[in-house]
Structure 1
Amino acid sequence: MAQYQTIGSTAGSRAAQIDAGLRAHMNKVYGMMSVGMLLTGGAAWAIAGLATTTDPSQAAAQMGNGQYLTALGSAIYASPLKWVIMFAPLLVVFAFSALINKMSTATAQLVFFGYAVLMGLSLSSIFLVFTGASIAQTFLVTSIAFAALSLYGYTTKKNLSGLGTFLMMGVIGLVIAMIVNMFLHSPALTFAISAIGVLIFAGLTAYDTQNIKATYIQHAQMGDAEWLGKAAILGALTLYLDFINLFMFLLQFMGNRE
């Protein structure tokens, strides 16, 4: 009897350790994600400020409403360099995901923060297209929606793995539709892409949160401490991308254009 009590006590202690570790792990994930968001927002705002001017003597191109593009703005928004800036984050995130196992945890974290700055450069044009008030409003709505969806993914007992497969297929279809619409410029297709994009990344937010939780529990039980540090970075990257995409698709509905 004493032996069974000892075994039960050990198992209970181990479960408590995993629960405490999970909370610390998720706090680390959300913390790194938040730092990434701050870097992206700060970089986007700063670059947009450097790319525009109201002084005609410093203008390289005219935008309207008394604003002009500086030489920097003309280079990153009105030259072939804009295509490099547009697709660079996609290439970097694929390379980062493939090579993270070869990096130290500290290096992986620096790469993630560098990627967040690069994303800020890619997204800086929203400050030229949409009003600052509508960007702030959309960010607030996205934050509330993201928090609710992530909380659902963390607390639900329902297995969302099947939903994840379906949503990833949707992402592939969405990317193809967006590439096609770059040439068609169809307002109807743009609206459909935005609506479907909101639904897909809302679902992915819940799914990815549950997957991060499940990944931690699996590796914590195996005592894989080295992987857990990198798993937190990958988790932060995943939720960061969910937030960014949810924000951008919502901005198409809620943003007031300049």
Structure 2
Amino acid sequence: MAWPDPRTTMSRAPVGTAPQSDVAYDAGLRSYMLKVYNYMASGVLLTGIVAMLFASSGMAAEIMFGGGPLKWVIMLSPLAIVFAMSFGQNKFSTFTLQAMFWGFATLMGLSMSTIFLVFTGASIAQTFFATAAAFLGLSLFGYTTKKDLSGWGSFLIMGVIGLIVAMVINIFLQSTMFHFVISAIGVLIFAGLTAYDTQRIKSMYAYVAGTDMVGKVVIMSALNLYLDFINMFQFLLSFMGSQE
């Protein structure tokens, strides 16, 4: 179901002039979306910096390939934070959600440090810029399209669940072909989620504008787009990445 647009009920100004309410709404929407993208981009940047520093320090190879308990703490902590933020967003303050977001981005950097030990720096950079270009295009589509993408939601979430199940199965199968198929489907699913989430985030502004929920919604929206970007990057790296 499409989100209703409150601007349709606002009074209109005389022909030839812009309604002040529309101007204020559009300015607020642009500011809101800019904050979402700034948080998301800053989180990705923090993750990348932490990953590079951790890998270059030599600690990543020792911990992440060592098989000790610290490896599992680093790998599972980001997931725990995502669940905590998702289920506790109404209870946590905006400041607490901000701290959790930055902590999540940092832990993701520690977890993703292994890509710098497996893939060449050139292929990682190439994949990153390809992902960034795709993300910008898909997010712009989601922001500007008049087509209602809400029907994609259930289908894409089911796809994510199926993807997780397939990845668990392949841990035991260790099939290269199955891994290739999973990566291809993963890229498509998170490409779709990028457009879907962007439209949903844009639509949510109509409900939180002028309330104290805006700060929380900005952070949670940034988290959703961050996850779309990172997952698309990781699956795409399976195709474009050249191993050391």
Instruction: Tell me the residue number matched to 2:191.
Output: 202
Instruction: Tell me whether 1:144 sits opposite 2:133 in the alignment.
Output: yes
The aligned runs of 1:1-258 (5 Å cut-off) are 7-9=11-13, 12-51=19-58, 73-81=61-69, 82-220=71-209, 223=210, 225-258=211-244
**TM-score, normalised to structure 2's length?**
0.90
- Measured after TM superposition, the shift of residue 12 of structure 1 is 3.0
Instruction: Tell me the residue number matched to 1:58.
Output: none
- SS where residue 67 of structure 2 aligns? coil
Instruction: Tell me the residue number matched to 2:5.
Output: none
Q: 2:206 is aligned with what amino acid?
A: I
Relative contact order (alpha carbons < 8 A, sep ≥ 6): 1 or 2 greater? Answer: 2
CA offsets, 1:95-127, max 9 Å, x none? 111112222212211210111000001100000
Task: Percent identity, please.
Answer: 57
Greater percentage in helix = 1
Moved more, 82-91 or 239-248: 82-91
In the TM superposition, structure 1's runs of 4+ consecutive aligned residues that sit over 4 Å from their partners are none
Please tell me whether Structure 1 or Structure 2 has the larger radius of gyration of its CA atoms: 1
In structure 1, the gaps of 5 or more residues are 1-5, 52-69
Q: 2:155 is aligned with what amino acid?
A: F
**TM-score, normalised to structure 1's length?**
0.85
Q: 1:94 is aligned with what amino acid?
A: F
Partners of 2:159 and 2:193 in 1: CA distance: 10
RMSD: 1.8
Q: 1:100 is aligned with what amino acid?
A: Q
CA offsets, 1:22-69, max 9 Å, x none? 000000000011110111000100110112xxxxxxxxxxxxxxxxxx
Count residues with an aligned counterpart.
Answer: 231
